[in-house]
Structure formats: C-alpha cells, structure tokens
Amino acid sequence: MHAEITSLLGLEVYTQKGVYVGKVDDAVLDTDQRMVSGLALGSVNKNLFDQKGKGVVVPYRWVTAVGDIILMKHLTLNAKEQRKDG
C-alpha cells in the first residue's frame, strides 16, 4: 500500500482495544529502506507514557491499520509501572 506521508499527520492513534495513544505530529523515515520506521506522537495518553518531553515515537511495525484513524498493537495501561519496576 502506498500513501502520502502527509496523510498520516494529525491522525489520532488508538490501540486495537480502543485506548487513545496520541496524535501523529511527524513521521520517522528510514531513507535507506525508503519507508516509514516510526510515528512521532504528541498529545499522548499520560496513563500509557511517563511524559517528560513533548511526545513519544512508536515503531511503525506496531501499526496494524491506517484509515481515518491509526490502529496499533495494544499497550498495557500499566506500562509506566512496568518500566519503573524493570
């Protein structure tokens, strides 16, 4: 599937279970492979991420569908606690 990178910008990202993750601010490109390697998200769900900066980058391989919104593999809601314990 081919699409304009600009068509990803501004889309809301949700997990497969319907949990809001964030909004696409930018795309990370792998110029050698000529493909999108990640999505830079802003306005992220603070229950999922320990927010010290303005956003997060999620690997594009986690994306399962792109349309009016973007769906990605589900993240656990306690991901912050898992990182602190681990």
As a whole number of angstroms, the distance between CA 78 and CA 18 comes to 16
This prediction has a pTM of 0.78
Domains of the chain: 5-76 (2.30.30.240)
Q: Which of 32, 17, 35, 7 is closest to 75 using CA atoms?
A: 17
The tens digit of pLDDT for each residue in 10-67 reads: 999 999 999 999 999 999 999 998 888 999 998 888 877 776 667 889 999 999 999 9
Q: Which two tokens stand for residue 11?
A: 């889309």
Residue 22: the pLDDT is 93
As a whole number of angstroms, the distance between CA 18 and CA 21 comes to 9
Residue 52: the pLDDT is 67
Residue 39: the pLDDT is 94
